[in-house]
Structure 1
Amino acid sequence: MNKIMKTTMLALALCAVALPMATMAQDIVEEITVVEAAVAEVTAADAMFTINNTWMMVSIFLVFIMHLGFAMVETGLTRAKNTVNILFKNTAIVAIGLLTYTLIGFNLMYPAEWLTTGILPKIALFIGTDPSVLTTGYNEGYTYWTDFLFQGMFAATAATIVSGAVAERVKLGPFLIFCTIYVALVYPFVGSWVWGGGWLAEMDFHDFAGSTLVHSVGGWGALAGIIVIGPRIGKFVNGKVKGIMGHNMPLLTIGAFLLWLGWFGFNGGSVLSADPMAVSYVLVTTCLAAAAGIIGSMAASWIIQKQPDLTMVLNGCLAGLVGITAGADVVSVKASILIGLICGAVAVVSVMTFDRLKLDDPVGATTVHLVCGILGTLFVGIFSSEFSVVTQAIGILAYGAVCFPAALLIFYVLKVTVGIRVSKEEELKGLDLGEHGQEAYHGFQFFTNV
Structure 2
Amino acid sequence: MEAMPTPANLHSSSDVLFLMLGAVMVFAMHAGFAFLEVGTVRKKNQVNAFVKIITDWSVSTIVYFLIGFPIAYGISFLVPATDLLGANQGYDLTHFFFLLCFSACIPAIISGGIAERAKFWPQVLAGAIFAGLTYPIFESLIWGQNSAPLQSFFKTYGGAEFHDYAGSVVVHSIGGWLALPAVIILGPRMGRYLRGKSHPIPISNIPFLALGSWILAVGWFGFNVMSAGHLEKISGLVAVNSLMAMVGGILAALVAGKNDPGFVHNGALAGLIAVCAGSDIMHPLAAFITGCIASIIFVYGFHLEQEKLKIDDVLGVWPLHGVIGSWGGIATGIFGHKFFGGMGGVTFMSQLMGSVLAIAFALVSSLIVYGCLSKTIGVRLDEEQEFAGADLSIHSIGAYPEDHVR
Report the TM-score, using the length of structure 2 for normalisation. 0.91
Which residue pairs with 2:286 in the alignment? 335
Q: Displacement of 1:132 after TM fit?
A: 5.5
Which residue pairs with 1:116 in the alignment? none
Q: Is the 8 A contact 1:104 1:127 kept in 2?
A: no
Alignment match of 1:208 (pick from 150, 157, 165)? 165
Which residue pairs with 1:428 in the alignment? 387
Q: Displacement of 1:214 after TM fit?
A: 0.7
Which residue pairs with 1:375 in the alignment? 327
* Per-residue deviation, residues 113-143 of structure 1 (Å, max 9, x unmatched): xxxxxxxxxxxx65555756634559xxx71
Classify the secondary structure of the residue corresponding to 1:103: helix
Which residue pairs with 1:257 in the alignment? 214
* Per-residue deviation, residues 234-257 of structure 1 (Å, max 9, x unmatched): 111222222111211111111100
Q: 1:317 to 1:129 in 2, by over 3 A?
A: farther
Which residue pairs with 1:387 in the alignment? 346
* Per-residue deviation, residues 135-157 of structure 1 (Å, max 9, x unmatched): 4559xxx7111111111111111
> Which stretch shifts more, 161-170 or 217-226?
217-226
Q: 1:326 to 1:128 in 2, by over 3 A?
A: farther
Q: Which amino acid in structure 2 is aligned with residue 56 of structure 1?
A: L
Between the two proteins, what is the percent identity of the paired residues? Answer: 34
Q: In the aligned structure 2, how far is the partner of 1:134 from the partner of 1:378?
A: 39
* Per-residue deviation, residues 164-217 of structure 1 (Å, max 9, x unmatched): 000000000111111111111100011100111413333311100111111111
Q: Report the count of equivalent residues.
A: 386
Q: In the aligned structure 2, how far is the partner of 1:75 from the partner of 1:391?
A: 38
Which residue pairs with 1:86 in the alignment? 49
**Are 2:23 and 1:60 aligned?**
yes
Q: Is the 8 A contact 1:232 1:360 kept in 2?
A: yes
Q: 1:176 to 1:445 in 2, by over 3 A?
A: closer
Q: 5+ unaligned residues in a row in structure 1: which ranges?
A: 1-38, 113-124, 303-307
**Are 2:72 and 1:109 aligned?**
yes
Q: Which amino acid in structure 1 is aligned with residue 39 of structure 2?
A: G
Q: Is the 8 A contact 1:381 1:387 kept in 2?
A: yes
What pairs up with 1:26-41 in 2 under 5 angstroms?
Answer: none
Q: Is the 8 A contact 2:249 2:269 kept in 1?
A: yes
Which residue pairs with 2:248 in the alignment? 292
Q: Which amino acid in structure 1 is aligned with residue 332 of structure 2?
A: V
Q: Is the 8 A contact 2:13 2:88 kept in 1?
A: no
Q: 5+ unaligned residues in a row in structure 2: which ranges?
A: 155-160, 338-344
Q: Which amino acid in structure 2 is aligned with residue 333 of structure 1?
A: P
Q: Which amino acid in structure 2 is aligned with residue 275 of structure 1?
A: E
**Are 2:265 and 1:314 aligned?**
yes
Q: Displacement of 1:49 after TM fit?
A: 2.9
Runs of 4+ in 1 over 6 A off after TM superposition: none
Q: In the aligned structure 2, how far is the partner of 1:155 from the partner of 1:363?
A: 20
Q: In the aligned structure 1, how far is the partner of 2:274 from the partner of 2:266?
A: 12
Q: Which amino acid in structure 2 is aligned with residue 259 of structure 1?
A: L
Classify the secondary structure of the residue corresponding to 2:118: coil
> Which stretch shifts more, 127-136 or 251-260?
127-136
Which residue pairs with 2:302 in the alignment? 351
Which residue pairs with 1:399 in the alignment? 358
Q: 1:205 to 1:284 in 2, by over 3 A?
A: same
Q: Is the 8 A contact 2:12 2:88 kept in 1?
A: no
Q: In the aligned structure 2, how far is the partner of 1:237 from the partner of 1:212?
A: 35
What pairs up with 1:268-287 in 2 under 5 angstroms?
Answer: 268-275=225-232, 278-287=234-243
> Which stretch shifts more, 314-323 or 437-446?
437-446
Please tell me whether Structure 1 or Structure 2 has the larger radius of gyration of its CA atoms. Answer: 1
Q: Displacement of 1:435 after TM fit?
A: 1.1
Alignment match of 2:318 (pick from 366, 369, 379)? 366
Classify the secondary structure of the residue corresponding to 2:141: coil
Instruction: Tell me the C-alpha RMSD between the 2 structures.
Output: 2.0
Q: In the aligned structure 1, how far is the partner of 2:151 from the partner of 2:32?
A: 31
Q: Is the 8 A contact 2:241 2:288 kept in 1?
A: yes
Q: Is the 8 A contact 1:195 1:201 kept in 2?
A: no
Q: Displacement of 1:48 after TM fit?
A: 3.3
Which residue pairs with 2:181 in the alignment? 224
Q: Which amino acid in structure 1 is aligned with residue 163 of structure 2?
A: H
Classify the secondary structure of the residue corresponding to 1:243: coil
Q: Which amino acid in structure 2 is aligned with residue 105 of structure 1?
A: G
Which residue pairs with 1:155 in the alignment? 103
Q: Displacement of 1:384 after TM fit?
A: 1.3
Q: In the aligned structure 1, how far is the partner of 2:403 from the partner of 2:387?
A: 17
Q: Is the 8 A contact 1:102 1:127 kept in 2?
A: no
* Per-residue deviation, residues 351-383 of structure 1 (Å, max 9, x unmatched): 001111011111111111101100000011101
Q: Which amino acid in structure 2 is aligned with residue 284 of structure 1?
A: V
